[in-house]
Structure 1
Amino acid sequence: MRSIFALLLLALGAGAAHGAERVVNIFNWSDYIDPTVLEDFTRETGVKVVYDTFDSNEVLETRLLAGSAGYDVVVPSATFLQREIKAGVFRPLDKSKLPNLKNVWPDIAMRLSRYDPGNAFAVNYMWFTTGIAFNVAKIKERIGDKPIVSWDQALKPDNLRKFADCGVYVLDSPEDLFSTTLNYLKLDPNSKEPGDIRRAADLLSGLRRYIKKFHSSEYINALANGDICLAIGWAGDSFQARNRAREAANGVEIAYVIPQEGALMSLDNLAIPKDAPHPDEAHLFIDFLLRPDIAARNTKVTHFANGVADSRPLVDKEIADNPAIYPDTAAMRKLFTVTAPDLAIQKIVTREWTRVKTGR
């Protein structure tokens, strides 16, 4: 859950005249920042940005557990953050170097503290829901004027079968899909019971024949180009797909819904690996992102809600007033979060997710 700015080097602003060049190495999700924010950071601070991207938490975690690979700021999702904190891969934030922490959204910080007690190691960057994105015209061709309001449309085989011919993508994320399916089955979405996980996997396995691909970023362009008609995906990505279709003027209309049964709320967060080579520059970069004007610019480009409360008045009304991006109070009550499984349960999750995707 986000065109890749692969190894984006911003040469603006050399280091101090009599010292080594200052650098900060960033590892973030794809499509997850306004590129001009990076340019402005270099212009204002003189710190060069080396920017690389990933498209799954597993890729990030593998790098972190093997050492930071030279990264100074990384962006793990909350459940992975929780597990990685326990593994000792992050350094505590020096809050004296983060004056813009005063701008964080209290409710979002509180939700993050479930994973990072005291918000000691991380600060929220973006938060979002997992829902259903779809091609309005192609869905209407297949089910008429009946609106998509329920997970029934995506999680019942007889319903999903109707969309197989026009293409269905699903996130390659067991956390998103298992928790969503457990909630749909009226089970605890945060369940760590092996039997519950297998029940969710059984339901999802029954959908596999109708799913074109499991991927956590390719569905953006696939939706925008009209190559698929439905995706279980992230809110911000879905609106990026809508905007790309509009920019292409290709006649594709994309919509996104948070189904009435509720949805997973996820938090992506800024953290500093314990062996980061440039921790001072890392704090400087995180503090820059916590400025309301900068957070608003990133939300404008990504269509993900950010963790800076005072940025919302600066966000375009089309985004700030969109309940699929900034849910209202009633919808927020139906959003759930999940915590990281222990190693034994994670092995079951991995095995069952492999079964979902491959049938083996």
Structure 2
Amino acid sequence: MSHSNEDKNLSFVLEKAGVVYFEDRPIPELGPQDVLVNVKFTGICGSDVHYWSHGAIGDFVVREPMVLGHESAGIVAAVGEQVDRLQIGDRVALEPGIPCRSCTRCKDGQYNLCFHMAFAATPPIDGTLAKYFALPQDFCYKLGKDTTLQEGALVEPLSIAVHIVKQASIRPGQSLVIFGAGPIGLLCCAVAKAFGATRIVAVDINKTRLTFASQYAATHTFESRKVSAEEMAKDIISECELGHGADAAIDASGAEPCIQTAIHVLRTGGTYVQGGLGRPNINFPIGSLCNKELTIKGSFRYGSGDYELAIKLLKSKRVSVKELITSCYPFKEAERAFEGVKAVQGIKTLIQGPE
């Protein structure tokens, strides 16, 4: 597929920590199964901001210029010759990681753990903050007719929440405590509610976020206190009427005191899921883990069926995400949008375009 010289692909590029610029890049060539998406809205994630501020996350280091962004929705602009699921004009959410499809983990159905995953805006792979982005057709998901493209940009974080709540094995009637009322923690509240959890406690230090959580999907909120983890867990259990403890706890904060409190807040036989990234090593109440025979799980991005379920939850109105969108910046003001997210303004910030 060829493009004329007039075709431009304006992109928001990170050169190194703190240095970003706009650049016209070539429009991606399409393989037979690929679609070209004209990106309309992109959400900013904490990882994008971290690369912009620090130039690295763990072992992933920005060594050459990289396009940022991975939470996007847009309109199909062109299709490869074997594409049969989508057509030009379809409104789609983008799942921004392409697995190899042939390693053991991919064949296990755990493609999120693929040894050779090429994930957007994880060095050296370019992200979606561009006019055009190419993906295999099975990683583009048609939005419901009532789902806006802005909401479509939130399918990515919603899919992370779906994966985390699945990892927590939430069943109807269960209780759950979620530490951290940022976008992922809030979306976990909404997904848990859709899964039938009847007691959903959001824990945070930020009063504004907790007020939002109680209006959004939490049944109870709890403001973090400067007491021991055991004491705080006791307070949460008594104030939120959790009986012998919560059925499940999710940490979406990465903060050591939250992780410790989460272990203490669980009932015997409960399930703990780590969703947030914090320091690489923390002090952990391992005695509780054994005595209570807890199940402990990590959670990494999203796997088979998570995007489909996220889109179904939006379509059926079981989950709503529009309340989380607090601001939307034009493409040319992308850096200002990043500054806003770094300063923890609002909940979810979107960048529109480029048109």
Q: TM-score range by the shorter chain?
A: under 0.3
* TM-score normalised by L of structure 1: 0.26
* TM-score normalised by L of structure 2: 0.26
Greater RCO (Cα-Cα under 8 Å, separation 6 or more): 1
Which has a greater percent of helix?
A: 1
